[in-house]
Amino acid sequence: MERLVKSGPGWRLGWDPNAKEFQGLVGGTDWAIELTEAELNDLCRLTEQLAGTMQHMATELMDEEKISCEAESDLLWLEAEGYPHTYSLRFILQTGRRGEGSWPDSAVPALLQAIRVLKVF
C-alpha cells in the first residue's frame, strides 16, 4: 500500500504504512501532527463512536440544545461539541510527545467520510 493523504477545507488525514514510527497524519487549516498507527486507530475508532453517540442523541434533544460528548483511550482524548447534526471535534494526545488539534463543524462530515475509507481499523 502506498502513502495516502486526503484533505478538504479545514481538515487533512494521511496514512503511510511504510513509515517507521508515525504512520498517520491529521491536520486542520493551520496545524498538523503525525500519529503512530495505534494513535490513528484510536482517533478513528473514537471519532466513529462519538459520531454514533451524537446521531443517537438527536432523538433525545430539542433542536436548539447543544451537547458535548467525550471519549478516550490510553492514548488520546476526543470531544464532540455542538448540535447532533453539526459539531466540532477536538483531540488531545495523552502520551509521548503530546499534542492537540481540532476541526470545525464544517469540516467534520468530510473528515468522517475520509476516516471511513482511509484504511481498515
Looking up residue 82, the CATH number of its domain turns out to be 2.30.31.10
Residue-wise pLDDT for 21-48, tens only, equals 999 999 999 999 999 999 999 999 999 9
* pTM of the predicted model as reported, rounded to 2 decimal places: 0.91
Could you give the number of structural domains in the chain?
A: 1
Rounded distance, CA 8 to CA 44, Å?
A: 17
Percent of the chain at pLDDT exceeding 70: 97
Domain of 105, in residue numbers: 4-118
Q: What is the pLDDT of residue 79?
A: 98
Identify the band that residue 121 occupies on the pLDDT scale cut at 50, 70 and 90. Answer: very low
Rounded to the nearest 10 degrees, the angle between the axes of helix 37-57 and helix 108-118 is 130
